[in-house]
Amino acid sequence: MSSFGPVIALSNLSNNLLQTLACGNRVLDLLEEEPQVEEVTGKEEIGYEGAKVDNVTFSYEDELILGNCSMNFSKNQIIGINGKSGSGKSTLLKLMMRFFEVKHGAVLVSDKNVNEINTSNLRDMQGYVTQETYLFHDTIYNNIAFVKDGVSREEVEEACKKASIHEFIMSLPNGYQSQVGELGDCLSGGEKQRIGIARAFLHDAPMILLDEPTSNLDSLNEGIILKSLKEECANKTVVLVSHRKSTMNVADIVMKMETDRVS
């Protein structure tokens, strides 16, 4: 049987080379891709005093996503947003992050158009949790701590406690130094999601945008996280997108989104 080893190895080498070339091509495609929006620099830094979506209409590849959408987002509030799939909930958060350019209407932060705010300044004011949490091939600790310069171990652990992930991490043989694997494949969807939420707590931005943050979690972990959000919302704006009624219970205001209106 051992005489077949080199033959099998050569066969595997061919497959590995094909996979490597495919991955390399994807990386090159990504590097060559033009950004959706240009980075803004050279503007005066501003502080956070609330946000507003003012009569925004947005289409993507000729498909209407938002039509004349207007919302106010005040400090000291958790604003819940629900609606059917495709109603524009996730797109709204991306427009507030300025991942896409608003050409009809305006997104305002502290009464200033996001198109005129330094990109780095805007990012400092916003914490964003997506439906899919991207993890680097690194330790759990490094996957959380990178969001804040000069962060302490205690701050990371406190953020993880708020996100209901600390006990799980400590149950691992290497604790916070455990490797997450390629794209976090050593962790479940719920565990990755809670790491994403821990990042948001650690970042401690005055505006927190959450896109289905508890979709992969059981009711116990969801309850702990929502309680933490409620305790954290002083002087902050929390925008919480979810289809779960239980998640909306924590909101001070709930808005329902449809393509052509908000109620």
Q: pLDDT tens digits, residue range 148-195?
A: 999 999 999 999 999 999 999 999 999 999 999 998 999 999 999 999
- Quote the mean pLDDT of the chain: 88
Q: Is residue 224 part of a domain?
A: yes
Are residues 144 and 79 both part of a single domain? yes
Are residues 165 and 59 both part of a single domain? yes
Are residues 105 and 19 both part of a single domain? no
Q: Is residue 93 part of a domain?
A: yes
pLDDT of amino acid 122? 97
pLDDT of amino acid 259? 60
Question: What DSSP element (H or E) covers 127?
Answer: strand 126-129
Whole-prediction pTM value? 0.84
pLDDT of amino acid 23? 56
Are residues 119 and 225 both part of a single domain? yes
Q: Is the pLDDT of residue 10 over 90?
A: no
Listed in sequence order, the residues at least 6 apart from 6 whose beta carbon sits closer than 8 Å to its beta carbon are none
37: tokens are 């929006």
pLDDT of amino acid 11? 55
Are residues 141 and 24 both part of a single domain? no
Decide which of 14 and 243 is more confident: 243
Q: Is residue 245 part of a domain?
A: yes
Residues above pLDDT 70, as percent of the chain: 85
Are residues 7 and 78 both part of a single domain? no
Q: Is residue 124 part of a domain?
A: yes
Q: Is residue 153 part of a domain?
A: yes
Q: Is the pLDDT of residue 208 over 60?
A: yes
Are residues 19 and 132 both part of a single domain? no
Q: What is the mean pLDDT of residues 22-47?
A: 71
DSSP string, 149-169: TT--HHHHHHHHHHTT-HHHH
User: What pLDDT, in 10s, does the model give residues 108-155?
Assistant: 999 999 999 999 999 999 999 998 899 999 999 999 999 999 999 999
Are residues 156 and 220 both part of a single domain? yes
Are residues 113 and 235 both part of a single domain? yes
Are residues 19 and 130 both part of a single domain? no
Alpha helices in the chain (DSSP H): 5-32, 89-96, 119-125, 140-145, 153-162, 166-171, 189-203, 219-232, 245-248
CB-based burial, 142-174: b 16+ in 10 Å, e otherwise: ebbbebeeebeeebbbebbebbbbbebbeeeee
Q: Do 193 and 216 meet the contact criterion of CB atoms below 8 Å apart?
A: yes
Are residues 216 and 135 both part of a single domain? yes
234: tokens are 């002083």
Q: Is residue 233 part of a domain?
A: yes
Are residues 119 and 62 both part of a single domain? yes
Q: Is the pLDDT of residue 31 over 90?
A: no
CA–CA distances in Å: residue 195 to residues 164, 171, 204: 9, 15, 14
User: What pLDDT, in 10s, does the model give residues 214-223?
Assistant: 988 999 999 9
Q: Is residue 43 part of a domain?
A: no
Determine how many CB atoms are found less than 10 A away from the CB of residue 181: 12
Q: Is residue 169 part of a domain?
A: yes
Task: State how many domains the chain has.
Answer: 2
Range of the domain at 11: 2-32
Q: Do 93 and 241 meet the contact criterion of CB atoms below 8 Å apart?
A: yes
